[in-house]
Chain A
Amino acid sequence: MFVKKDFLYILPAIAFLLVFAVYPTVFGINISLRRWILYYPQQGTPFVGLQNYIDIFLSSSFQLALQTTLKYVIISVGLTFVIGFAEAYLIDKVSFRGKEVVTTLLILPLTIVPVVVGFMWRFMYKEGFGLITAWFLPSLGIRVPTILGDPVLAFWGVLVADVWAQSPLVFLILTAGFTSLPKAPYEAAMLDGASSWQTLRSITLPLLQPVILIAVLLRTIDAFKVFDIIWIMTSGGPGTATTTLNVLGYETAFESYNMGKASALGIIVLYISLALTMVFVRVIGRKKK
């Protein structure tokens, strides 16, 4: 009896999303099928079918950006996971006064505005007086003239900043996981004289598996979207060393003003994210059962 009235509750939100999210997406598909360059309004916006998509797949800049993105996602997710897991594991093992404070300090990087993260690391990498290039590395006996100006090191420089900012997310999620672990299996393992490595491998990891999956998936979805840090630190350079798909998309849209091609690129990346999101939803669903 409520059915019609009930719909009113969700209607405003749906209407808002239809206008400002669904319509732009459909419009985006339309744009992606056209030759639409803002610099040349006199050329109009002729329909060109899948030409933009074909151009993208055949272009070396796309292939290069895809490779950079994949490399970036895999290494970033891997490193943030290892660090976050190690932090959560160690913190769970100890109890001391002020543990709350330590936990909070370990999470802080996560809340720093991404643009500031980029600036902060650029400052630390600065040749001549940066904390890392001018003080930390030389005191280890390592001398590098430049980090962000070097095609190989720039990639790693950006990655370290990203790992610094994002590993707290893994730490936060896994700490929640560790706290909710049951105690009984550990008591049994202790009676059997299991080593801590055995306990970790055959009890902790299997029990934590659902939480680990969630952490890894969220990180993967995030890593695919990374833009702010890269744009502030290197703007995709030097050359194309740090040009990920998002950077390439931004340049296509707002430096070349090629809206058709940028939209097509956007749709391609959207599909990759959608696939990842579906997996995420499956995992949440399985956990609830």
Chain B
Amino acid sequence: MSTRRNNKTSILKRILIYGSIFLFLIFCFVPILWLVEGSFKTHAQDITIPPLWIFPPTLENYEAILSVCAPYFLNSAVISIVSTLLSLLLSIPAAYALSRLSLKGKDTIKMTILSIRMGPAFASIVPFYLLMKNFGPFRLLDTQISLILIYTVFNLTFLIWLLEGFMNEIPLQLEEGAMLDGCSRLGALTRITLPLITPGLVVAATLCFIFSWNEYFFALALTREAAVTVPLGIAMRVSFMNIPWEEMCAYSTLAILPTLLVCILFRKYLVRGLTFGAVKG
């Protein structure tokens, strides 16, 4: 903000400002660098003190970890993608109804929906665990389905809040015009409103994917072997007595790659999503 900056700001002050920013950068970035570098080191290099910052990289750790942990990545991908799609399918019409249509008790519905999302996972874990243990004739513990269902609960509530905000910004007249021309309600939603909020949809879907990809608590309680996800796979290995640090670094690097990319691509929209639409970036 050059207009707000005092031109007479002393050199000392500027050094102080840039110096502090630099320190914050180091604080934020060095741990990540350390992790990623660790994944390209051998075990001996990993435990060398003082730390090696420059070294000939090796891909051995990636080969080792992928031969064991590939199913976890597959599980996480399936669970995250299906849950995101299911949440979108359910939340788009719901958000549309809250934004546009005449419903009684709108505020109560919205409030209930938000409190489901904000509530601690651990308040619902016990009943959900018992529910999945005997879901009618089905035993859903340790299946991808149980995690898809519970992640959809959280993603769905989040999406309804976020998408309603995006829809509120599209002028009603656009839809009314289309409907006068013989378009149905559903047609107005799919042909007019949805294309206009595409950026919102992309960001919302991305945040749902991140939530499902990162989630650990439910995965820990609901799965054992067959449906183990990426975070749980890490945790299982970290609890070993002799942690294979270099392999774990490779595993962790692969685990953070999708969310890291997304963050860099959509940084501008993140703030709106993370504050449930309360703050616009």
Residues of chain A touching chain B, judged by Cβ–Cβ distance below 8 Å, are 2-3, 5-10, 12-14, 16-17, 20-25, 27-28, 31, 83, 86-87, 90-95, 102-116, 118-124, 126, 128-129, 131, 134-135, 164, 168-169, 172-173, 175-177, 179-180, 183, 186-187, 190, 196, 211, 214, 218, 221, 224-225, 227-228, 231-232, 246, 249-250, 253-254, 259, 262-263, 265-267, 269-270, 273-274, 276-277, 280-281, 283-284, 287
**Is B91's beta carbon under 8 Å from chain A?**
yes
Chain B residues whose C-beta falls within 8 Å of the C-beta of A20 in the assembled complex: 128, 149-150, 152-153
Residue ID in chain B nearest A126 by CB atoms: B245
- Chain B residues within 8 Å of A112, by CB: 32, 256, 259-260
With A116-B252, A266-B120: A27-B263 Cβ-Cβ less than 8 Å: no
Judge whether B103 and A6 touch: CB under 8 Å: yes
Chain B interface residues toward A at CB < 8 A: 1-6, 14, 17-18, 20-21, 24-25, 27-32, 34-35, 38, 46-51, 90-91, 93-94, 96-98, 101-103, 109, 111, 113-116, 118-131, 149-150, 152-153, 156-157, 160, 185, 210, 213-214, 216-217, 220-221, 230-232, 234-235, 238, 245, 248-249, 252, 255-256, 259-260, 262-264, 267, 270-271, 274-276, 278-281
Q: In the complex, A104 Cα to B46 Cα: how many Å?
A: 27
Which of A115, A179, A250, A277 is in CB contact (< 8 Å) with B118? A277
**A106-B25, A115-B231 as given contacts; A17 in contact with B130, CB under 8 Å:** no
Whether B214 pairs with A270 at a CB distance below 8 angstroms is no
- What is the CA–CA distance of A21 and B166 in the complex, to the nearest angstrom? 25
Known interface pairs A12-B94, A21-B157; 9 further A-B residue pairs with C-beta atoms within 8 A, sorted by A's residue number: A17-B157, A31-B130, A102-B21, A107-B270, A113-B259, A120-B35, A276-B118, A277-B119, A281-B114
Question: Would you give 19 A-B contacts (Cβ < 8 Å), ordered by A?
Answer: A3-B102, A13-B91, A13-B94, A14-B94, A16-B156, A24-B127, A28-B123, A28-B127, A105-B25, A113-B259, A115-B214, A121-B31, A124-B31, A135-B49, A135-B50, A164-B28, A187-B3, A211-B279, A270-B120
